[in-house]
Amino acid sequence: MNEEGWYRDPYGRHAARWISDGTPTALVRDAGVESQDPPPDEPITVEMERVAETTPVGGDDLKRADDLEGQQFDPQAMTDAAEEGIDSSW
């Protein structure tokens, strides 16, 4: 069976690279931040080393983008604020 998951980047460019069906992908990760970097067109010359998965912490410190902390959304207030910002920039 071919490798699947996060592995130490065999090209040494990033901390980890997602391997899919034994093939390096553009999905990379450094210090927990994922980004894209297409793999170079060169053969892998190192042994594949799986990266230990970390368990996410509870998430109690995270906020949802749509969480208004009990405030009611007022579309008119939003429109007024936008118009005021536009007026002050003229």
CA atoms 6, 49, 9, 41: torsion sign = negative
Q: What DSSP character marks residue 65? A: T
For 10-57, the pLDDT digits (tens) are 999 999 999 999 899 999 999 889 999 999 999 999 999 999 876 666
Which segment of 1-5, 9-13, 77-81 scores lowest on mean pLDDT?
A: 1-5
What are the pLDDT digits (tens) for 50-78? 998 766 667 776 777 776 666 677 889 88
Does the residue 6 lie in any domain?
yes
The pLDDT of residue 13 is: 95
Does residue 23 lie within any of the structural domains?
A: yes
Q: pTM higher than 0.75 for the full model?
A: no
Number of domains in the chain: 1
**Measured distance CA(80)–CA(84) in Å, rounded:** 6
Domain hosting residue 29, numbered range: 1-53
- Across-strand partners of 30? 33
In a domain, 71, yes or no: no
* Cα distance between residue 3 and residue 23, in whole Å: 8
